Structure 1
Amino acid sequence: MQEDKHCTVVVPTMLGRIMCVGDSRAIYSISLRPRAAQLAEANDEAILPPLMQEARRQLEAYFAGKLTSFDLPYRLTGTPFQKQAWKEMAAIGFGRVRSYGEIAKILGNPGLARAVGGAANRNPLPLVVP
């Protein structure tokens, strides 16, 4: 099966420019502080697949205060533990918080709070998986 070409979208926000990378099937990463070289990789809007155009629209709506959760297919790459932690983080509702310890307890081991923090630090999709 032929792989889709990765596309990069840059969205101006009140926090600065945000970069979203994906293809026609899923988004892979959102960078809240992309480097200048990464920003230069942004694709022309005219050649973006519909999913990436929708990602741009949803990010713009989120920062305009019109959207509180994202409805985008995404693909997370990480260890099995990171994926479990990210899945639990994704279930946290808008405006709600959970400590790393609470998430570790939900995952079955309260002693893994630091590991949950490490997974949060490596989260490739902040905002989508808060």
Structure 2
Amino acid sequence: MSPTKQHTVIDSPYGPLTLVADGGVLCGLYMTDQRHRPAEETFGAHAEAPFVEAEEELEAYFAGELKDFSVQLRLHGTPFQRGVWDQLRKIPYGETRTYGELADALGNPGASRAVGLANGKNPIGIIVPCHRVVGADGSLTGYGGGLDRKQRLLDFERGTALF
């Protein structure tokens, strides 16, 4: 465990969210029962201070008042993964893109599967909106937080959510 890591847990309409910071910068946002969720002991000590901005932005997002996050992020991953995660942040609120469209945007049209794998390992869900990626036919495909949550997040952003 890094001595610079800290975490907190906040409530959301989608269940508890664990926020993790490294050196005071958000590096993780995990849902309960999330695939690829790191072990709890890697999250560091419990703290509130590094998460004030992230919590405020998430609260505004869930209230329907924020569409673009500005909180500083520290994304730990390979250069390819970080490229995919950068593309995710470019998908507008309420819209979706396919894995193939993301691969095209990265200049590697044959990399749909690799894009999917990188998407699945996104360490900062919701803020880095991996829920906005769908299959080539528009169908919901894998989501680390579960397909029900993915559908609920998409419905929320489209203004059709029922909490």
TM-score band (shorter)? 0.7 to 0.9
Q: Is the 8 A contact 1:23 1:52 kept in 2?
A: no
Equivalent in the alignment of 2:68: 69
TM-score (norm 2): 0.66
The letter of the residue matching 1:126 is G
Amino acid at match of 2:76: T
For each residue in 1:52-90, what CA deviation from the matched residue of structure 2 results, as whole angstroms up to 9, or x when unmatched? 111112112212222222111111111111111111111
Say whether residues 1:21 and 2:20 are aligned partners: yes
Aligned-residue Cα RMSD (Å) equals 2.6
Displacement of 1:27 after TM fit? 0.3
* Aligned residue number for residue 140 of structure 2: none
More helix, by proportion: 1
Code of the aligned partner of 2:46: N
Give the Å deviation of 1:25.
3.7
| Distance in 2 (alpha carbons) for counterparts of 1:84 and 1:19 | 24
**Alignment coverage as a number of residue pairs:** 123
After superposition, the C-alpha distances for 1:10-65 in whole angstroms (9 at most, x for unaligned) are 11112111111114541000002268x84xx7735xxx32x411111211221222
Residue type matched to 1:71 in 2?
A: S
Paired letter, 2:82: K
TM-score (ref. length: structure 1): 0.81
CA displacement at 1:103 relative to structure 2 = 0.7
User: Hey, what's the Cα distance between the residues in 2 that align with 1:42 and 1:73?
Assistant: 20
Match of 1:33 in 2: 32
Gap change, CA 1:64 and 1:22, over 3 Å in 2: same
Aligned to 2:5: 6
Which residue in the other structure is 2:102 paired with?
103
